[in-house]
Amino acid sequence: MKKLRLILGDQLNSEHSWYSENSENTSYCLFEMRQETDYVKHHIQKITGFFAAMRNFANDLKSKGHSVIYYTLNDTQNTQELTKNINQLLDLHKIDCFEYQAPDEYRLTAQLEEFCSTLSIPTNCYSTEHFYTEKNELAHFFKGKKQFLMESFYRNMRKKHQILMVNQQPEGGKWNYDASNRKKWKGDVLIPPALNFDNDVSAIVREISAAGVTTLGKINETYFEYPISRTQALAQLNYFCEHLLVHFGDYQDAMHTDQVFLYHSKLSFAMNTKMISPKEIVETALATYRKREPEIAISQVEGFIRQIIGWREYMRGMYWMLMPNYKKENFLNNTNKLPDFFWTGKTKMNCLKNVVNNSLDNGYAHHIQRLMITGNFALLTQINPDEIDAWYLGIYVDAIEWVQLPNTRGMSQFADGGKIATKPYVSSGSYISKMSNYCDSCVYKKTKKIEEDACPFNALYWNFLDEKQDKLASNFRMKMMYSLLNKMPPEDRANIKQKANHIINNLDAY
């Protein structure tokens, strides 16, 4: 029986059970396609990284004796559409059975399921063998519950997988060390230089350009710094554990004008393409912690592991529980357009200038930069969640819809009305100052609200509370802020609204 097996660009798991067999009757296919480069405008580093990793993976399979059919972007036989490419190969090679691994995107799942329903040959769908949880496990966990609290899911994961547990109790006496993970980095603790890889991707960049693909952002064609092979991903993991884990928890929320990555691992692209598994990452981090305890405190490793077995698995589960309607959620009825500076980085607001330009330059921003700078600003200025979704999905090298959409539309933009976040994550300039040095060299003053040089976040924050009071005043986590808003003198409130409306109507002037 001749089999054709499809490998998608985020299914580069060389440890998958598929590859334990090596049959001359089984062929694997991978495609670089306009279908995937064009459904949203992507960062040039994102497309390049995916193609480079896919090519390395295909070459690795070939070196192990597997039969591989690979269409580059500009291959003449490439139809640029997934199902047309598969159909072409089914006919050309007289295939008797088609198999694929379950996609992590609803869009691709629907496409492949519909396609398979039209085939006259047997089809089989396999697990990607990557995640800790099954696709619908979280939906079963929360069945019958009114709230979908990540913390309760996270504790269950800790117990189920016996991670940082002692006799069914959390090691160290706490489930969560988040309160210890909020230090501001002031330059007094050394950050080792980042591990970068001298990946020359200039040929791929030329091919993308020749194909006429529209991209955003910048790229160093001869020095692509993210892992694009399993060997590089493992090297990145080991480097993080040996050099950065010791201070990861302390500064995971910190932001600084001189630092892009701080103590973050740079593993998200490798993990989301499945070159490396979450279990490998957690086990290596735990082994490093055991070896170097108490030099590495439990708060450092727990903060890291929580992001993987808690937040990452939770977001995937929420995505599959709530799709496809989740993509249309707009609880706050926000309709404004994203300002041009999100694409150019040209703004006088120092925090946004740094984060947007870092994103354009590196295809990267860490979770607090995404949540409390760009996301916070987009929510305060009441941007249509469709626009902010497209921006986040396109600009970050690690962005795949299953993880991007619930983080953006749910956690960041509160467009789901509280299914993921228990309150909107909005703040004035004071939080930004607390966690960064962005305010120190900004033309706007964090202590002012309505003056010409006042930090725009301040008026926008109070205006947002005022504008959305009918939607948010009953939220128990917002009661204190609404109490302060409602005690504000009417004249002050009116002046703040006037200032905020001027900002919203002139976003690219700030």
Would you state the pLDDT for residue 229?
98
Q: May I ask the CATH class of domain 3-126?
A: alpha beta
d(CA 315, CA 135): 11
Which secondary-structure segment (H or E) carries 290?
A: helix 278-292
**Local structure of 167: helix, strand or coil:** coil
How many angstroms separate the Cα of 449 from the Cα of each of 418, 452, 492? Answer: 28, 9, 10
Would you state the pLDDT for residue 16?
98
**Local structure of 94: helix, strand or coil:** coil
Within 10 angstroms of residue 426's Cβ, the number of other Cβ atoms is 23
The full set of domain ranges for the chain reads 3-126, 137-198+228-322, 341-509
d(CA 2, CA 23): 9
Backbone angles phi, psi at 125, to 5 degrees: -115, 130
| Pairing verdict, β 97-101 and 3-6 | parallel
Q: May I ask the CATH class of domain 341-509?
A: mainly alpha
Q: Largest Cα–Cα distance in the chain?
A: 79
Would you state the pLDDT for residue 22?
85
b/e per residue 67-104 (b: at least 16 CB within 10 A): bbbbbbbeeeebbbbbbebbbbbbeeeebebbbbbebb
Would you state the pLDDT for residue 179?
85
Would you state the pLDDT for residue 46?
98
Backbone angles phi, psi at 93, to 5 degrees: -105, 10
User: Is 54 within 8 Å of 27 (Cβ atoms)?
Assistant: no
Would you state the pLDDT for residue 502?
97
d(CA 120, CA 344): 50
Give the global pTM: 0.96
Would you state the pLDDT for residue 178?
87
d(CA 158, CA 462): 39
| pLDDT averaged per 10 residues, the chain (length 510) | 96 97 93 97 98 98 97 97 98 96 98 97 98 96 93 96 95 91 91 90 97 97 95 98 96 95 96 98 98 96 96 97 97 97 97 98 96 98 97 98 97 96 95 96 95 97 96 94 94 96 96
Q: Which two tokens stand for residue 52?
A: 């480079």
Would you state the pLDDT for residue 146?
86
Q: Tell me which amino acid residue 478 is.
A: M
Residues 6+ apart with CB under 8 A from 134: 127
**What residues does 99 pair with on adjacent strands?**
5, 124
Q: May I ask the CATH class of domain 137-198+228-322?
A: mainly alpha
Of 363, 456, 378, give the one whose Cα is nearest residue 411: 378
Q: Tell me which amino acid residue 200 is.
A: D
